[in-house]
Structure 1
Amino acid sequence: MKMINTWQPSLLKCCFCILLFLQGWQTAFSQPAKYKISLKDSLDKALDLSDWIIQANGFVPIPFIITEPALGGFGGALIPVFIKKNPPYYDSVNGKLKITPVAPNITGGMGVYTLNDTWMVGGFRSGTLVKQRIKYTIGAAYADVNMSFYKTFEHIGEKEMAFNIKILPVLLQGSKRLFKSNWYAGFKYLFLKADTRYVGDTSMVNLVKSLEMTKIISQLGILIELDNRDNIFTPFKGMKVHADVSRADNVLGSDYEFWRINYYMYAYRMIIPSITAGFRLDGQQAFGDPPFYMLPYIDMRGIPVYRYQGNADVLSELELRWDFTRRWSAMLFGGAGKAFDEWSEFGNTNWVTSYGTGFRYLLARKFKLRVGIDVAHGPDTWAYYIVFGSNWSK
């Protein structure tokens, strides 16, 4: 059986990518502007939003275009956020004072609508308890999602099944900095109420009737993470390594009992001054009896989300960025992944591949933020993606 992961994948990935963008801002926003805001950089007079961002007084309304094929190929989101600056960490290392910037507290909301009548509203807060060295994220939403899933039946092969899923998720996450390092460890909790209804081909009704239900998932886990990238938006060097293990259990109030493991790594290295290479390794595993919308899936450019799924998946991607001018960059990327039910099936499962190209523009030089468009081709379709910062953003 090949189905989906959880409530937040691609369209929320876009939102969290923007959150990462906001988390890099270390300039005070609370003072009123004392001069006319310019949309041109003082160095090269090119279009640049750095000064506008700095003088935003803590409020930034962010429009965003959704291009995920599985959600109709086009949609829009509006994400108003409020930002409060945090003081930095002051650490004594080998008798010397080390000052480490701290991301600001961010509070915001979101409204989403796509061409296949998927819509969502929600709110979130991401912040840091500076004295305790603790990062936290709180989020909640209501989503009405229309999406197809795929299952292989014994006598008729693989079939597409269209579902409407009404989802109420709540996410809580916290992690503490370890030993004045770039390592963090903590917990994550997910509450999710899902009402699933089949809306596809009527000839499939009897086969999928058992998948129509209203259930609650209550899932608690632990995480560990390293992040030493030089830039959280468009890195030139460093890596981010993450692993978490979660358990949904009746003791927590869940209607399902299962385990989920999630691990990934993003690594960056500058080959020559104008070319940067990035490598991604990503995998997920589910044990027990999760519902079909909590199963792992292959998440790569050029492949619709939830198209290739199973009890486990593993994928890797390589990308090259060529900064051929101060402002403009060209992208080249490709990757391969597998989704399967048992590791014994790994050798017999076909690789799913995708590749593509794109461009980036340095939109905010003072924050090293590049934005652009990627065009990718997978086994079934062409797709395009509007990218803020990096496409890899969990």
Structure 2
Amino acid sequence: MKTLLKVVLTATLALLVTLSVCAQKKSKPSMFDSLDHKLDMSDFLIEANGFIPVPVIVTEPALGGFGLGVAPIFITRRKPTVDKSGKAVRIPPDVTGGVGMYTVNNTWAALAFRQGTWLKAGSKYRAGGGYANINMKFYRNTAAGKEFSTEFNLRTTPFTGSLLKRFGSTPWSAGVDYTFLNTKVSVDGGSLPDFVKSKEINSRVSMPGLTLEFDSRDNIFTPNKGIRSQVNVSFSDDGFGSDYNYQNLNAFIYGYFQMFHNVVTGLRYEMQQVFGDVPFYLEPYVDLRGVPTARYQGNIFSVGEVEVRWDIVSRWSVVGFGGAGKAYDSWGEFKNASWVGSGGGGFRYLIARKFKVRMGVDLARGPEQWAYYIVFGSSWLR
């Protein structure tokens, strides 16, 4: 689900080619910034009516490394509001979109999402879902320590949603979330391996949770400064209609620091741990650029990553990044678990100045292969 939502969010890269797309409006919004007269999609996003059919390029190695699709994308600017103390409070824009995609390994999906602000309740919300037919390899070790892989077909109906209430005008918020998955598992032309339980062939996950968040970023797309940190605890239980009884703990912190006026450093730490009876396709995995989704799994994963962006000129930037992580089954195994590292570089272009949105391409090298990624906003979007 995390991978598929990243595909939806990064679909807006193709705004670079929407110069030929006409909005359903009598006057066509300008595709160029009034300040520097460079290509800029801010006015187009603010003023255009109807949806923009955006081409999608899928680059996730676990889904074949290449795929195409189309997505309608909206970004709606929200006016600042005033809190009880008379202080102006910036409201992040609402983002609405969907995607239909197909990849070279015959994975396909149709998904939609929305995130926005509910002003009367002083809350922000997210919702997304759809249908996906996924072909992916999962790796395991034999008793002799030899690694083997099995390619699965996962047909799943996912849904995820959250509602977080902000504490006054502070960066803190808390709330509830919910995840639902109805999944059918099969192996093309073969029998299921021993590590797959019989109930995993056709099963349902129903998981409510609690979230605490701190967010002081200067914008939600490509931050220059600020911190976003979140702790989430969720519970899958037959009392909620789930076929599995387990708990999930996920925590992360992203920090952005402007070392110089044109150099931004980002730091990331993230971990996830599951307790109990978890389906194999939802086990935590090392999540880094250059490492395929679900390649290294365990009951726990933890990663650290650093990224430096240098704004060479007002519109163009270069990026360098590197990180490492581990997947293991208990904290006692952390010391002996193998490190998984990756690194690379890329470029960004400031495509929507009024939203502070940068987008571009990253090239990353993991332990086994090269991979490329289309980036909208930030690689750490959640």
TM-score normalised to the size of structure 1?
A: 0.88
Matches within 5 A, 1:242-253: 242-253=230-241
Worse-matched range after superposition: 382-391 or 121-130: 121-130
Q: Which residue of 2 aligns with 1:139?
A: 128
Change (3 A) 1:206 1:369: closer
Q: CA deviation at 1:348?
A: 0.3
Q: Which has the higher contact order (CA 8 A, sep 6+)?
A: 1
The answer on 1:129 being equivalent to 2:118 is yes
Question: Could you tell me which of 166, 169, 179 is aligned with 1:177?
Answer: 166
* CA–CA distance in structure 2, aligned partners of residues 87 and 329 of structure 1: 29
Q: Which residue of 1 aligns with 2:33?
A: 41
For residues 225-249 of structure 1, what are the alpha-carbon distances to aligned partners after superposition, in whole Å with 9 as ceiling and x for unaligned?
A: 1111112221111010011000100
Q: CA deviation at 1:45?
A: 2.4
Structure 1 contact 87–130 (Cα < 8 Å) conserved: no
Q: CA deviation at 1:350?
A: 1.2
The answer on 1:14 being equivalent to 2:7 is yes
The answer on 1:358 being equivalent to 2:346 is yes
**Counterpart residue identity of residue 173, structure 1:** S
Q: Which residue of 1 aligns with 2:54?
A: 62
Change (3 A) 1:32 1:13: closer
Q: Which residue of 2 aligns with 1:52?
A: 44
Question: Could you tell me which of 254, 269, 272 is aligned with 2:260?
Answer: 272
Q: Which residue of 2 aligns with 1:77?
A: 69
Change (3 A) 1:291 1:195: same
Q: CA deviation at 1:147?
A: 0.2
* CA–CA distance in structure 1, aligned partners of residues 99 and 70 of structure 2: 6
Question: Could you tell me which of 207, 228, 232 is aligned with 2:194?
Answer: 207
Q: Which residue of 2 aligns with 1:27?
A: none
Question: Could you tell me which of 103, 122, 145 is aligned with 1:114?
Answer: 103
Matches within 5 A, 1:231-380: 231-380=219-368
Structure 2 residues not aligned, in runs of 5+:
16-22
* CA–CA distance in structure 1, aligned partners of residues 117 and 29 of structure 2: 29
Q: Which residue of 2 aligns with 1:186?
A: 175
Structure 2 contact 56–68 (Cα < 8 Å) conserved: yes
Structure 2 contact 8–98 (Cα < 8 Å) conserved: no
Structure 1 residues not aligned, in runs of 5+:
1-7, 23-30
Structure 1 contact 32–55 (Cα < 8 Å) conserved: no
Structure 2 contact 89–169 (Cα < 8 Å) conserved: no
Number of aligned pairs?
A: 372
Q: Which residue of 1 aligns with 2:19?
A: none
Q: CA deviation at 1:36?
A: 4.5
Q: Which residue of 1 aligns with 2:83?
A: 91
Change (3 A) 1:85 1:334: closer
* CA–CA distance in structure 2, aligned partners of residues 133 and 332 of structure 1: 37
Q: CA deviation at 1:60?
A: 3.3
* CA–CA distance in structure 2, aligned partners of residues 274 and 36 of structure 1: 33
TM-score normalised to the size of structure 2?
A: 0.91
Change (3 A) 1:271 1:89: same
